[in-house]
Structure 1
Amino acid sequence: MAKRVLLVVTNVGHYDDDVHPTGLWLSELTHAWHVFEEAGYEQTLVSPAGGKVPLEPRALKFPNVDKTAKAWLADPVKMALLENTKSPDEIASADYDAIYFTGGHAVMYDFLDNRGLQKITRELYERGAVVSSVCHGYCGLLNTTLSDGSFLIAGKHMTGFAWREEELAKVHKLVPYNAEKVAKQRGGLYEKAKLPFVPYAVVDGNLVTGQNPPSAKKTAKAVVKLLG
């Protein structure tokens, strides 16, 4: 049977100040989707509330739009997937071999405390399935606890979008919290590349995390390697 991967996307379309739009960073989905598709995996999109997924406008501008993102934007079938995602209560964790949290600043709002996603993630992790995230997707892991009450990332080598990258992207005054700082507070053994915005991924057991948008392909390939 083909491996099955659950890809998590956002429902949020703006920062606290709705003058500033945000959403899914499309290439973080499309890079991984392409890798998983080549591996023959079945893929399902889920979002915290189910339904429509807004797209981050900056991710659709050169040089952020690559061939996989352009192909997705030009494919009505693929675009329709972002109009009608499943909600966590429609998902049975036992049906999946891995979960992959996509990013974009929007996820800082609706991934952090979604109990449905936390339950799915905990169940997958505790049975040895792969839990993965890229960029801000690690916000979906920050408050996820295991059955013993400990944080999933505690004592684990991991990464995610760095605070220095927030500053360089000039959004550090818009974001609701410092995700890198919270990861460290939760006991995560946070790592990052020597230079900002270069591909970087960390594997610790069945946890796979990527630092930034260019890390999506590297992260997905690490997931495939773990799944064998």
Structure 2
Amino acid sequence: MKVLIVCTNHDTYPSKSGKTGSWLSELTHFYDVMIRRRVLIDIVSPQGGHIPIDERSLDLKDEVNQQYWDDETFQQKITNSLAPEQVHAEDYRLIYFSGGHGAMWDLTSNPALEKMARTIYENNGIVSAVSYGVCGLLNIKLSDGSLLINDKYLTGLSNVEETLQAFVSEVPFSLEDKLKENGAHYTKSMIPFMEFIELDERLITGQNPHSARKIASKALEELFEK
């Protein structure tokens, strides 16, 4: 079985000088669960090649982050990520949109990635995403023209969490608001930054970085145990 992880290539903010990109634990914690089950993983990004890691997420006291930061295979995958044209969606049972602020700029409207997700979903595969990665689901249209997320229960980074991070002025839109505008039933945990996931048939979403491992575990359960 093969799994496809989607990451951002975008690393800048409109006015803040710090660099953004992918949030490391959203990538490593999901990756770790899959690797332990001997699942084959490919990583794709809008442009292919180098995937920037948000400097605020480089927490190497996190053992899983440290393990994969030092792992040659993992580093190869994020240094030489696949471009969309190198990916055959039919080969995958699951697609996972990893987050980080950068995702809001280059994953929100990306026809090639949206087409991949639609193909996987319509082939009875799973579409999953965490935190800002959920923005990659906003505009996915199914073959009948309907939005994938319309009338679906899902989660993603909340307005409260965004405000607590003090990055509201930098992001191009509110993820929570946009999900609701596009017809989703948005849910969240009562307490910000607590692990929280939502499952609606073959759509699995996580609210924040702490939810990545649980998404992977739930996805494996859905794929292997049903």
TM-score bin (small chain): over 0.9
What is the aligned counterpart of 1:103 among 99, 103, 117?
Answer: 99
| Aligned counterpart, 2:26 | 28
Secondary structure at the aligned position of 2:5 is classed as strand
Residue 41 in structure 1 maps to residue 34 in structure 2: no
Runs of 4+ with deviation above 6 angstroms: none
How big is the alpha-carbon RMSD for the aligned residues of Structure 1 and Structure 2? Answer: 1.2
1:225 and 2:221 aligned: yes
* Cα offset, 1:133, TM superposition: 0.3
Q: Distance in 1 between matches of 2:218 and 2:59?
A: 28
Q: Deviations over 1:176-207 (max 9, x none)?
A: 10011000000011100010000000110000
CA contact 2:16–2:170 (8 Å) conserved in 1: no
Are 1:205 and 2:201 an aligned pair? yes
Helix, strand or coil for the counterpart of 1:13? coil
**In structure 1, how many angstroms separate the alpha carbons of the residues matched to 2:213 and 2:174?**
25
What amino acid is the match of 1:58? Answer: R
Shift in Å, 1:76: 3.2
For residues 73 and 87 of structure 2, the distance between their equivalents in structure 1, rounded to whole angstroms, comes to 22
Structure 2 residue ranges without an equivalent (≥5): none
- Residues 44 and 205 of structure 1: CA distance in aligned 2, closer, same or farther (over 3 Å): same
Among candidates 50, 65, 69, match of residue 73 of structure 1: 69
Quote the Cα distance in structure 2 between the aligned partners of 1:135 and 1:215.
8
Classify the secondary structure of the residue corresponding to 1:202.
strand
Partner of 1:190: 186
User: How high is the TM-score relative to the length of structure 1?
Assistant: 0.95
Q: Which amino acid aligns with 1:164?
A: V
Number of aligned residue pairs: 224
SS at match of 2:4: strand
Per the alignment, residue 162 of structure 1 pairs with 158
Native 8 Å contact 2:49 2:78 kept in 1 = yes
Aligned position for 1:93: 89
Structure 1: stretches of 5+ with no match in the other structure: none
Q: Among the aligned pairs, what percent are the same residue?
A: 39
